[in-house]
Homo-oligomer: A and B are copies of this chain.
Amino acid sequence: MSNISIIGTGNMARAIGELAVAGGNTVEIIGRDQTKAADLAKALSGGTTTGRFGAVPAGDIVIAALLYANVVPVVAHYGEALAGKVIVDISNPFNSTADGLAIPEDTSIAQEVAKTAPVSASVVKAFNTIFGVVLSQGRPLDVFIAGDDARAKAAVAEFIETLDLRPLDVGDLNMAHWLEGTGLVVMGLARHGVGHFDFALGATTAA
């Protein structure tokens, strides 16, 4: 079981929070809006607590469940309060038409978080290829993860397993750029070939 803090009170925060509580993890919800955070913590139950925005989070793993444009500013705001933490970036930096990324080719939100966070923190990209609506159904799903720190990836993988999901390592943090691109492919499939949002991308091996 893991000690998790989730910064954010939106759909992804709720979906991951529900799975995290069901998986027996200790969960803390943090929001700029303390009332929203308290409401979500109450809805999650299972002893979920709330933390003060900007203070040292209670969890060893801190999930930034924020819109992509807010991730780096929030990590910068936290500063040394994130020292030693494993920061999980789940964002998709889609452009306004969701057919390209709103960031340069040589980086990703996760890599920008790594540049911004304390040197003692580790950043892992995860969950961005899964729609919240699918995640909240909790069925077996593959969660692609990328990061430079093997111990941080192992910690996040262990957490993901408590959610009854399958963590699949894609490689170093520079792969976060391509995981964010894979988020675009998932969006393209939802709009075109699949035609709905109730699916997930996964790796299937021969039966």
Contacts and interface: CB of A to CB of B under 8 A. Distances in A.
B206 A139 contact: yes
A199 B193 contact: no
A99 B174 contact: yes
A204 B199 contact: yes
A156 B173 CA distance: 35
Interface string A129-156: 0000010010100001110000000000
Nearest to A100: B174
Given A99-B174, A144-B185, A205 B201 contact: no
14 contacts: A99-B172, A139-B206, A144-B185, A167-B193, A168-B189, A170-B188, A171-B188, A178-B184, A179-B185, A182-B182, A193-B203, A199-B203, A200-B204, A201-B201
Interface string A153-197: 000000000000001111110110111011011001101111000
Q: Which 4 A-B pairs have the closest CB atoms?
A: A105-B105, A168-B193, A169-B193, A181-B181
Q: Is the interface of A mostly helix, strand, loop or mixed?
A: mixed
Interface of A: 99-100, 104-106, 134, 137, 139, 144-146, 167-172, 174-175, 177-179, 181-182, 184-185, 188-189, 191-194, 198-207
Contacts of A146: 188
Contacts of A134: 206
A206 B198 contact: yes
B192 A171 contact: yes
Given A172-B99, A178-B185, A189-B170, A207 B104 contact: no
Contact of A175 (B104, B139, B185, B202): B185
